Structure 1
C-alpha cells in the first residue's frame, strides 16, 4: 500500500480541487493508497468533494491523520454525497424572450 502525503505534495492549506491533480499523477487505477493528511490544517469544500471522487475513482484509498476541521469538512460533504438528492417540484412559469428588448422590459417590470 503506497502512502501519499498531501502536505508534501500539495501543502497544508488546500483550497482548490485542481491542486489534487498532483496527487492523482502519483496514483494508478488498481493500486492501494493511504492518503496521509497529517499537517493539513484546512481544505475547501471543493477539495473535500474531489477527495470523495478520488476514493470513488480509485477504490482502494484510505485517509489518515485528518485534523478535526478536515475530518468535519470531509464528513459533511461525504454525508451529503451519499444521500439521494430530492428536488421539490415548483410551479414555474416559463417566459419566451426572443430579444434583448423583451428581456429588458421584463427586468424593468420586477
Structure 2
C-alpha cells in the first residue's frame, strides 16, 4: 500500500501499527514540517529513504538511505523553484521497477 502524505498536520499515529517504509521527497531537504515527520517515524523505527538535492541536508542526514541528485538550485522571481525534478522521477521509477521485477522472479 502506498500513501501520499501532503498535509503535515495529518495524524501519522494511524501508521504506527503498520511499520511503513517512508519515502521522503524534498528538493531543499530542509522543510521543517518534513523534518518533524521524519523524526516522528524515526522514533517508530521505520526505515526512511529520502530523495533530496543535497545529501548533507537535514532530511538527507536523518534518512537511512538518501539519493542526492546534486543539481544547482534554479529560482526565478526570488521564490519560484525551477530545479528539475527529473532525477526524482527516475529514482522512483527505478525503485518501483526493481520491486516489481523481484516480486515476479520465482
The question of a shared fold, defined as TM-score above 0.5 by the shorter chain, is answered with: no
Q: TM-score of the superposition, structure 2-length normalised?
A: 0.38
Q: Name which structure has the greater RCO, CA cutoff 8 Å, separation 6+.
A: 1
Structure 1 or 2: larger helix share?
A: 1
Structure ID, larger Rg:
1
